[in-house]
Structure 1
Amino acid sequence: MLNVAIIGLGRWGQTLVASVQEKSDLLRFTTGATGSRAKAEAFAAGAGITLKDSYEEVLADPAVEAVVLATPHLQHAAQIEAAARAGKHVFVEKPFTMSKASAEAAVAASEAAGITLALGHNRRFHPHMQRLRALVRGGELGTILHCHAELSSPTGLFLPKGVWRTDPEQSPAGGMTGLGIHLVDSMIDLFGAIEAVACQSVNRVAPSGAEDTTSVMLRFASGQTGTLLAFTATAPVFRFSAYGAKGVASITTPTLGGFSLEPAPTAPGQPAPAATHETLAGFDTLHAELEAFARAVRGQAPYPIPPADMIHGVAVLEAIVAAVGRDRFVPVA
């Protein structure tokens, strides 16, 4: 059993804890630290978590083998490097860091220390995403022409001005750090390197004034194209589609529970083969990613997001932020 500390016990930190506490034979949260201790004490007590006064105190605890970072985005890089110096394995929520340079430094520190470094892109672990990956890599969709992804949430309708999630330094380009970065990661996983992006991001209704409507065009090194939509002020929606010469495969619903495959015709004037539609309910991607982290720490299997993908995802995010309002494509570093 891996003894883990949770750093950050806001809504998402508590969600991560709840996904595995007393539900996993591989890891358990024993310790924690948070910036709002009074708000987290009741939850921590109920979950059997001992709260420390600081991150530094957590890192000094020899009983803690690993840390899970559910903290503001700009803190990630320094916190990863501090954990590496302390010899603690790290699972960090997305976005990995906020610049390519800091991502490279965090990876270098982790590799030098010999710790396991994992990134919280939970959608990679869903069986429907794994099936789509197999279709793409196996060539069953043919040459990929385009991918389209969209992810939306109503959270921006209720977040006030002044909290870190509406701070443009912590959360630039609207919903990119909270939503769109997941779509970028899935695109990198399935289709490889992204070489250039264009972006428009505006505020339409969010009362904080934060950008709530973000759209991105992407160009891949392979030659295919892509589009991405991230909205923070509407109903929750998820869609991820790959358009290939042999057919279109799509994942839908916020839980990724819907899957469809629509083959293209194989000859002129002939009807296309019948489409398939499937549903899978109840799969917990957070549980899956945290157990994958525990297995990686124990040397049982590598964590499925390689450091190169972590760094490239941040480089793409950095380019998207730089592209906002420029009305042209910006190259990815």
Structure 2
Amino acid sequence: MSEPVGIALIGMGWWGKKMLAVLAGAPGDIRVVRAVEPNVESVRDLCAEKGIPLSAAYADALRDPAVEAVVLATPHSLHGAQIEAAVAAGKHVFCEKPLALTKAGAEKAVGLCRDAGLVLGMGHERRWEPPISDMLAKADAGVLGRLHQIEANFSHDKFLSLDRDNWRLKADQAPAGGMTATGIHLLDLSVRLMGAAESVLCICEQLSSDLPNGDTVAAFVKFRGGGTSYVSASLANPFISRFAVYGSKGWIDIRDKAHVESPDGWIVTSAMAGGPITTVEIPPAEPVKDNLVCFARAVRGTESYPITAAHLVDNIALLEAVFASALSGKMEAVA
């Protein structure tokens, strides 16, 4: 067996801590060898307990020969420069979503990693949820027939307790309500299933909170190859996560029983043409861990990473058009 891929966790806030926790139970493919957090005191004891070197400077991770890859759990606006620096240092990159806030930014990140022969992983762990993975396989195999529509919602109220100057609520880093927090996952799955988008109409409103960028967002997407997706998200109602895809031969509706932060399984309702509607429960899994393990195996060349360059760019092109439509209130073309 080859040695585990040594990674540096960059950003030890809410999600950085989540990734550190799940990797404690990961197989021997990946190992945290360094952590970087500007607010060192906030995680000093945690990192000392885990025996992980901690520093405040990103450059420390890039200079560390034990670090083969960086895992960016950092504010969206930092991703571009951090990816560029990682590539210059010869480090593979796993980036939390969104990869960028513009199509041009996504294209640059993808191109830098591709040209350097480095793996670019993405924090779209929804693809590793067992029922989502099964749904994608069925769609790819034609079991669902011609795909017609997608309906999806991913909402929670976790951000209501954040300080209003938190970067997750700033207009330049998280436009259009919950679209960069939760809706981006649904856009990713929509593009994965339906291909590149053609146009989008997005409505973002502030309905029941003082969240500065709105608390409720909905986007209606038309795809170049036909078909539509309705994606919605709220940052001001209790948790719900639902993803449903409808095709000429069957449909599948997947509902999470809990947020991916602490997964508790899924309820899957489906039907095939001429058959009954069935409902099954899927036990808990850890898709955040499974995504990171898949990334590490791609670094070692033992497994291909399923989120392609085209998926990454097409998703951010759609996200950029969502932002434009949220501002204009009109249907916007996707670049």
Work out whether the TM-score is over 0.5.
Answer: yes
Aligned residue identity for 1:227: Y
- Residue 7 of structure 2 corresponds to 4
Identity rate, percent: 37
Which residue of 98, 103, 109 corresponds with 1:100?
103
Q: 2:272 aligns with which of 263, 267, 282?
A: 263
Q: Which residue of 2 aligns with 1:187?
A: 190
Aligned partner of 1:319 in structure 2 is 321
Corresponding letter in the other structure for 2:306:
P
CA–CA distance in 2 between the matches of 1:154 and 1:67? 29
Residue 9 of structure 1 deviates from its aligned partner by 0.1
Query: C-alpha displacement at 1:325, in angstroms?
Result: 4.2
- The residue number in structure 2 matching 1:279 is 281
Indicate conservation of the 8 Å contact 2:40/2:55, yes or no. no
Q: Is the 8 A contact 2:170 2:212 kept in 1?
A: no
Deviations 1:67-102 (A, max 9, x none): 100000010011011000000111000001111111
Task: Indicate which of 58, 63, 83 corresponds to 1:60.
Answer: 63
- Return the offset for 1:112: 2.1
Gaps of 5+ in 2: none
CA separation in 2, counterparts of 1:162 and 1:327?
Answer: 26
Larger mean CA deviation between 15-24 and 67-76 belongs to 15-24
Give the secondary structure class of the aligned counterpart of 1:210: coil
Q: Name the amino acid aligned to 2:169.
A: T
Is the CA contact (8 Å cut-off) linking 1:3 and 1:29 kept in structure 2? yes
* Match in the other structure for 2:165: 162
Which amino acid counterpart does residue 303 of structure 1 have in structure 2? Y
The change in CA–CA distance for 1:22 and 1:138 in structure 2 (over 3 A counts) is closer
Contact 1:159 1:208 in 2 (8 A): no
Q: Distance in 1 between matches of 2:66 and 2:138?
A: 43
Partner residue in 2 for 1:141? 144
Give secondary structure in 1 for the equivalent of 2:328.
Answer: coil
TM-score (norm 2): 0.94
Amino acid in the other structure paired with 2:85: A
Q: 1:12 to 1:99 in 2, by over 3 A?
A: same
SS in 1 for 2:305: coil
8 A contact 2:76–2:101 mirrored in 1: yes
The unaligned stretches of length 5 or more in structure 1 are: 266-272
Scaled by the length of structure 1, the TM-score of the pair is 0.94
Say what the alpha-carbon RMSD is for the aligned residues: 1.4
Aligned residue among 220, 225, 229 for 1:226: 229
CA, structure 1 residues 66+325, in 2 after alignment: closer, same or farther (shift >3 Å)?
closer
